[in-house]
Every structure is written in structure tokens, then in C-alpha cells.
């Protein structure tokens, strides 16, 4: 590992973070034991294991980086901002050779990332953009506004909005306000649906259509369930809810529970969207309890991100395909963006079963 003179600040950080780690924070550690060929260590900070997508991301990153010969120090923060900060400080104190961060709330990480930059540790922003910092080298993600656009276009087509004879009701369940992806997704959704709200083709009876009114902190499934219950009891006693524009599979599970409790059946089940194509969501789509999701191939994302790690460690140029879109408030971060795809009952087989992304029994047995 590189020899560096640690600054006084870093030593303070090290003492603090080792203390915190010793206090039993809940992040899971899976690092340090693998013997990579190069002796280089990559710290990977993931947000949470509460959703299947991030478990897959962590697993993919670990195995791709190990295949490239690196040791991997992988930690999950269970959506706790301070836990993630302490984990990243510990990675810096361990003098990792590269940091990969999928932030819980990147505003809390600005100083730690600065320290990383000062001691020469390159930082790669994974899936969620690290905001308001110039201490980031590259960004690997999906076209996040494209995710929202695809959700909007799916609703437009499925609800036949272009030739609608009568208005349909809709409610929105948007992502976490501290996640730049959520803001972009909302923008994408509204780029398609706003005109239908304006001309009365879509009616949102709660009146909650802005991002601020519909965002759900930390992408909480429970909050989505409660919001849906409140909408149903407050605004849909006499009229059915036709469309749930949901930004996340986790929200779709909460919405499903609220609809079942309110007595919705297959005859009046609304259109429900999602994001991530989790196995449970694919199962619900097959069973008719969710209508669609957005498939994001996290294996591909991990490939691109691992390639970036290798390039920054070896001092070469990584593969990027966007140098304009991702302005984090301090800099435009050079990015590689993967393409999201809409998935529903008609194409799930081709996208996730035939491709080998999931085994059929894994989907059928999802609980």
C-alpha cells in the first residue's frame, strides 16, 4: 500500500472513526481478509441492506474488484448518515487506494471526501452523485432522468393518456430529497406527465404533485404505505385511485399493502410503477399486483465502476460516455451512464430470466 504522511486532521479522523467502530455501529464489514494480487485496497461504502438492489450492488462490486486483484473493504450504513460518515473516515484512516461511495446523504460527506482528496485517495461516486464537492473523480450510474421519463412514458402508454376519453386519478410517490437521483427521476416523470395534469387528463385528488410534497425520506417503504393509506382514506372514498406513480419497488410493496387493506381487488387494481426490478417486484408483476418497474442491470454498473477504479489506481483513462449532465454544484463529474429499461409482464422473461439475471425459481419463490 502507498506510503503517505498522514495529516493531523486525518489522525484525528482515524481516532474518531476507530472509536466509533469500536462502539459497535451497525455497518456490516466484509473487508480486509482477501488477498488480492496487487495489494491495493478499495473501500466500498454502500447505503443499506434493506433493499435487495444494494445487496446485489455490494456483492457485484466486491467480486468484480476481487477479480481484478484488489482487496475490498465493503461496508453498509443501513441508511444512517453518521454511520456512513464514520465508515468512510475509517476507510481513509486505513489508507485505502480508492473509495467507491453510494451515499446515504452526500452533504454529510463533504469534509471526509476533502480529506480523502488531500491524502491522494481517488473517489468514485457510485449510482448516487456526490453533491457539492470537487473531491470526486468519476461517476458511474444510470441515466436517472431517463428512469423517470420511462416511468412517465409507461404510464402514458398503459393508461392510454394520448386518447383518453375520461380523466384518470393519479398519486405520486417520489424518492428521497437527499438523493440527486430522486430529483432527476421526478423531472423525467413530469417531462411526460405534467401536460396531462395541466389539461385535466390526469387528476391528482390529494393535490400533491410537487417534488417537495411527494418525496419520501430515505426511500422508506413504511412512509409510502402510510402516504397511500392517507390518500385512499382522505381522497378516494367515493372514487377509485387509477394510477400510483411510484419511483421505487419498495414503495410499490407499501402501496400494494395499503390497497389490499382498503379492499382493492384485481378488478380495480391501479397501475403501479417501480424501480430496480427486484425479485419480489418481478413476482408481483407476474401476479398482477405491480404493473411495471425499471430494470437497471447492476452487474453492468459494477463492471463500469470497477473499470473506473482500475483506471484511477493505474493512472489511465476510464471509459466515460457523459461529460455534461452531472453537475454536482461544484463541478461537472465525468460519468458513465448505463441505460435503464422498462419491465412488465410482457418482457420480464426476456430481460431478467432468459438473460440469466435471475433464476426462474428465485422469482417464483420470492417472498
The neighbour count for residue 9, using CB atoms within 10 Å, is 13
Q: How many residues are given for the chain?
A: 367
Residue 65: left if φ>0, alpha if ψ -120 to 50, beta else—which one?
Answer: alpha
Work out which of 40, 62, 64, 128 binds ligand BGC, going by CB under 6 A: 128
Work out which of 248, 336, 357, 358 binds ligand BGC, going by CB under 6 A: 248
Give the nearer residue to ligand BGC in terms of CB position, either 127 or 171. Answer: 127
Residue 127 touches ligand BGC, criterion: CB under 6 A: yes
Distance CA 99, CA 304 (A): 15
CB 78 within 8 Å of CB 26: yes
Give the nearer residue to ligand BGC in terms of CB position, either 181 or 201. Answer: 181
Which residues make beta-bridge pairs with 338? 142
Work out which of 52, 80, 276, 297 binds ligand BGC, going by CB under 6 A: 276
| Exposed / middle / buried, residue 233 (Cβ in 10 Å: 0-12, 13-18, 19+) | exposed
User: What minimum distance in Å lies between the beta carbon of 169 and ligand BGC?
Assistant: 25
Distance CA 183, CA 74 (A): 27
Residue 219 touches ligand BGC, criterion: CB under 6 A: yes
Distance CA 4, CA 55 (A): 33
Site pattern 300..339 for ligand BGC (x: CB under 6 A): ----------------------------------------
CB 83 within 8 Å of CB 47: no
Show the DSSP H helices in 128-220 as ranges.
144-158, 180-198, 211-214
Phi, psi of 292 (to 5 degrees): -155, 165
Give the nearer residue to ligand BGC in terms of CB position, either 75 or 181. Answer: 181
Binding residues for ligand BGC, total number by CB under 6 A: 11
Work out which of 181, 284, 328, 341 binds ligand BGC, going by CB under 6 A: 181
Residue 80 touches ligand BGC, criterion: CB under 6 A: no
Work out which of 51, 115, 133, 328 binds ligand BGC, going by CB under 6 A: 51
Give the nearer residue to ligand BGC in terms of CB position, either 53 or 149. Answer: 53
Give the nearer residue to ligand BGC in terms of CB position, either 196 or 340. Answer: 340
Distance CA 25, CA 19 (A): 10
Give the nearer residue to ligand BGC in terms of CB position, either 105 or 276. Answer: 276
Distance CA 209, CA 109 (A): 30
User: What minimum distance in Å lies between the beta carbon of 164 and ligand BGC?
Assistant: 29
Site for ligand BGC in 335-354 (CB under 6 A): none
Give the nearer residue to ligand BGC in terms of CB position, either 128 or 256. Answer: 128
**Grid cell for residue 357:** 439475471
**Grid cell for residue 164:** 383518453
User: What minimum distance in Å lies between the beta carbon of 109 and ligand BGC?
Assistant: 15
Applying CB under 6 A, the residues found at the interface with ligand BGC are 51, 53, 127-128, 179, 181, 219, 248, 275-276, 296
Amino acid at each position: 500500500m502507498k506510503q503517505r504522511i498522514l495529516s493531523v486532521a486525518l489522525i484525528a479522523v482515524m481516532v474518531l472513526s476507530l472509536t466509533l467502530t469500536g462502539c459497535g455501529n451497525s455497518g456490516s464489514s466484509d473487508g480486509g481478509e482477501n488477498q488480492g494480487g496487487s495489494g491495493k485496497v478499495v473501500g466500498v461504502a454502500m447505503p443499506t441492506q434493506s433493499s435487495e438492489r444494494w445487496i446485489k450492488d455490494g456483492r457485484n462490486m466486491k467480486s468484480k474488484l476481487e477479480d481484478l486483484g484488489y482487496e475490498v473493504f465493503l461496508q453498509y450504513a443501513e441508511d444512517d448518515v453518521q454511520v456512513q460518515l464514520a465508515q468512510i473516515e475509517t476507510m481513509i484512516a486505513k489508507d485505502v487506494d480508492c473509495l467507491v461511495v453510494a451515499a446515504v446523504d452526500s452533504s454529510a460527506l463533504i469534509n471526509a471526501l476533502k480529506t480523502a482528496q488531500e491524502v491522494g485517495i481517488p473517489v468514485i461516486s457510485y449510482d448516487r452523485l456526490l453533491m457539492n464537492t470537487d473531491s470526486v473523480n468519476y461517476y458511474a450510474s444510470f441515466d436517472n432522468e431517463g428512469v423517470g421519463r420511462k416511468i412517465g412514458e409507461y404510464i402514458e402508454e398503459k393508461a392510454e393518456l394520448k386518447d383518453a376519453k375520461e380523466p384518470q386519478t393519479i398519486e405520486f410517490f417520489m424518492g428521497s430529497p437527499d438523493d440527486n437521483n430522486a430529483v432527476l427521476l421526478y423531472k423525467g416523470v413530469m417531462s411526460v406527465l405534467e401536460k396531462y395534469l395541466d389539461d385535466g387528463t390526469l387528476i391528482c385528488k390529494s393535490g400533491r404533485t410537487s417534488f417537495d410534497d411527494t418525496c419520501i425520506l430515505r426511500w422508506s417503504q413504511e412512509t409510502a404505505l402510510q402516504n397511500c393509506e392517507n390518500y385512499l382514506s382522505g381522497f378516494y372514498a367515493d372514487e377509485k385511485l387509477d394510477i400510483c406513480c411510484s419511483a421505487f419497488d419498495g414503495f410499490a410493496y407499501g402501496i400494494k399493502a395499503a390497497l389490499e387493506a382498503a379492499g382493492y381487488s384485481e378488478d380495480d387494481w391501479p397501475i403501479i410503477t417501480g424501480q430496480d426490478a427486484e425479485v419480489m417486484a418481478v413476482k408481483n408483476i407476474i401476479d398482477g399486483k405491480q404493473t411495471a418497474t425499471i430494470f437497471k442491470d447492476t452487474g453492468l454498473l459494477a463492471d463500469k465502476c470497477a473499470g473506473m477504479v482500475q483506471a484511477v489506481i493505474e493512472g489511465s483513462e476510464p471509459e466515460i460516455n457523459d461529460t455534461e449532465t452531472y453537475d454536482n454544484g461544484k463541478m461537472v463529474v465525468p460519468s458513465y451512464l448505463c441505460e435503464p429499461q422498462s419491465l412488465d409482464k410482457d418482457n420480464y422473461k426476456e430481460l431478467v430470466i432468459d438473460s440469466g439475471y435471475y433464476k426462474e425459481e428465485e422469482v417464483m419463490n420470492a417472498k
